[in-house]
Amino acid sequence: MSRYQYRPSRRSTLFVIIAGFVTVVGLLILGPETAVAEMCQWTGAVNTDWNNAGNWSCAIVPGNVDTAIIPNVSTSSGNNPVISTAQTINTVTIQNGGILTYQAGTGVTVTFTNFNIEDGGKYIHDRTASTPLNTSIGRVFSDNSIVEIKNYNAPSSSLPSFGNLIINSSGTIQMSGYLQSVNGDLTKQGRGEFRLATTQAVGLTVSGNLHLLEGTITIQSGVATNNTNIVVGNDATIASGTTLRSGSSASGIHFLSVGGNWTNDGTFTLNTNANTGVIFNGSSQQLVGGSSATEFRNLIINNGANVVLPTNTTVVGNLTNNGRLQQTRDVNGSGDVTFLDIGGYGGVTLNANSSDLGQTTVIIRGNQPCDNDNSSVRRCFDIDPANKTGRNATVSFVWDSTELGSQICSTMDAYHWNGASWGTPLTLDTGYGTNGRICTDPGLQSLRVTGVTTFSPFAMSSDGSGPTAVSLQSFTAHNQTPILLILAALLMLGLVGATAVFRHKTNSR
C-alpha cells in the first residue's frame, strides 16, 4: 500500500464526476467496439469440421470480417475442411493443393464476400444452393484451379470465370445460360444430365478441352428459339454411352466450334435448324475420329484449319471448306472411288483403271488461290497414292461456281505440277459432260481427265497457259538499302585500313 493517501476536496470530487460523465457519453457516441479482422489458416488439427475453432491457426472460426486460408494439408493433418453449417466469411482463399468442400442440408447457406482459388486449389460444391458460386463479383479462380459441382441450384446471374470445371452428378445440373467462361477444361462425369440452358441463349467459351465422360450434356432442354454458340479451344471428346445434344425442342441456331481433335464414341445430335453446325478452327492438324460415325448438320472448315475426315463422316446440310480437308482411301481395281463428296462438296473421284494406286490421300484446299496471281480456280487438289509409278488413272475434279474467280468453266483445263512448272493441260475425257466438262451455274462444276500417270498438286485454269508457277507464291521482295549500307561501311573500313598501311610503310622508310 502507498504511504500517501488521497483525500479529495469538494472541487476534485466534482471533477471526477464530470470526467466519468464525459467518458460515458463518449462511449455512447462511439458505439460498440469494432471487430478486429483475423487472418486464419486451416490446420485440420482436430478433424474436418469447418466450425471447430481447434482446426484454425487463429483459434476461432472465421467470420464476416475475417480471411480464411485453405492450404495443402495432405502431408500434415490430412483433414481437408468441410462446411456443413451456415457461414458468412469475408474472404476465402484456397491455395495450391488445398481442398474445400461445401456439403450441407436444406436451409444451410454459405456466403463469401471474396472467393479466390489459386492454381492447384480445388473447391467441391455438393449443395443444392447456388451460393457461393452465384455471382462473378469478388470471384477470382485461376486458370489451373478446379471447381467440382456435385449438386447445384440453377443460378440467376452471371457465374464466375472458372479455371477447370467438373460436373459430377447423378442428377440434373442446370446453368440457365449463365455459364460463360471456362479457362481450362470442362469435364462431365456422373450419369446425370448437365443442362447449359432451358430456353436461354448460350454463349460459352471453353479454352481447354471438352470431356464428356459420363451422362448427357444438353445445350437447351426446353422449347427454345434462342441461338447458342459454344467454343472449345482444344479437343472435344464424346465417350461411349454418352450424349451431346441440342435438346429435342430447341430450334435456334446452334454452333459448336472446335480448335482440336474430335473424338465421338457416343451420340452427337444437334437440332435440325438449317444453319446449325460444327466449325473447325484450329491452327494445326485436327483429326475427326471415334468408333461412332459423326453426322454433322453443317460442317465449316475455317481458314487456316487442317481437318482429317474419316470415310464414315456424313454432312446432312452443307460442307464449307475455307481451309484444308484431307481423307485417305484405298483406290484399286476399275471402280470409281470418291473422296470428300459430302455435304454437296463434290470432292475428287479416282479410277485406277486396274493399275492399283493403293492407299491414297487426297487434300483439298478450298476458297484460296493455287498460284500467285489467281490464274486458277480457288480450289486446289493434292493426290498422293502409295503406288506412284506406272499408273494410268482417270480423275474427276469438282469445284463450286463461287470458286471460279476469273476463270471460265467452258474452257477449263486441269494441270499437274511437275516439280518445276504446271506443264501442259492434261487430256480431257471428251465422253464426260460437254467436251470433258460439266458447267452448272450456279452450283458444282467439274472436269474429268484420263491417262494420269504422275501425282502431286493439281490446279484448274482456263487461261490457256495454266496457273502461275508455284514458286512465285514464296517470292518475297526485300529492301536492299541495309545491305548497301553495310557494303559501303565495309568498303570505307577497307580504304581506311589500306591508307593506314600505306602511311606506316612510308614512315618506316
In three-state secondary structure terms, 141 is: strand
State the pairing for strand pair 393-400/348-351. Answer: antiparallel
Residues 269 and 170 in one domain: yes
Same domain, yes or no: 123 and 174: no
pTM of the model: 0.84
Lateral strand order in the sheet of 181-182: 181-182, 202-206, 228-232, 254-258, 277-280, 299-301, 319-321
Q: Are residues 81 and 95 in the same domain?
A: yes
pLDDT of res. 15:
34
State the virtual CA torsion across 231, 236, 241, 243 in degrees, nearest 10.
20
Shared-domain flag, residues 428 and 458: yes
- CA dist., res. 340 & res. 335, Å (int): 17
Say if 14 falls within a structural domain: no
| Residues contacting 357, CB < 8 A, separation 6+ | 331, 332, 350, 385, 386, 387, 391, 393
DSSP letters, 474-489, are G------HHHHHHHHH
Would residue 273 be called left, alpha or beta, if left means φ above 0 and alpha means ψ between -120 and 50 degrees?
A: beta
With respect to residue 72, please indicate whether it lies within any of the assigned structural domains. yes
* 24 domain residue, yes or no: no
DSSP 8-state secondary structure symbol assigned to residue 376: S
pLDDT for residue 13: 38
List average pLDDT for each run of 10 residues in the chain, which is 509 residues long.
39 37 39 74 98 98 98 97 96 98 85 98 94 95 98 92 97 96 98 96 97 97 95 98 95 96 97 94 97 97 97 96 98 98 97 97 96 90 96 97 96 95 95 97 97 95 83 35 40 44 41
On the CB side of 303, CA atoms within 13 Å amount to: 3
Q: Rounded to 5 degrees, what are φ and ψ at 285?
A: -60, 135
Which candidate, 177, 111, 182, places its Cα nearest to that of 148? 182
Q: 460 pairs with which residues across the strands?
A: 414
Answer yes or no: do 282 and 146 share one domain.
no
| 88 occurs within a structural domain | yes
Rounded Cα distance, 435 and 412, in Å: 10
Asked if residue 507 belongs to a domain, the reply is: no
Q: Is residue 323 part of a domain?
A: no
Residues 127 and 167 in one domain: no
Query: 234 and 171 in one domain?
Result: yes
Same-domain check for residues 425 and 346: yes
C-alpha cell read off for 71: 492450404
Assess whether 189 and 146 both reside in one domain: no
Which of residues 103, 137, 158 is at a domain's end? 158
- Paired with 398 in beta bridges are 446
Looking at residue 206, its amino acid is V
DSSP code at position 247: -
Same domain, 96 and 217: no
Q: What is the pLDDT of residue 366?
A: 97
Q: Is 26 inside any structural domain?
A: no
Domains of the chain: total: 3
Phi, psi of 423 (to 5 degrees): 65, -155
On whether both 174 and 297 belong to a single domain, the answer is yes
Find the domain containing 132 and state its range.
34-158
Point out the domain boundary residue: 158, 180, 211.
158
412 and 358 together in one domain: yes
Among 317, 345, 362, give the residue marking a domain's end.
317
Q: Would residue 501 count as lying in a domain?
A: no
CA-to-CA distance for 286 and 308, rounded, in angstroms? 6
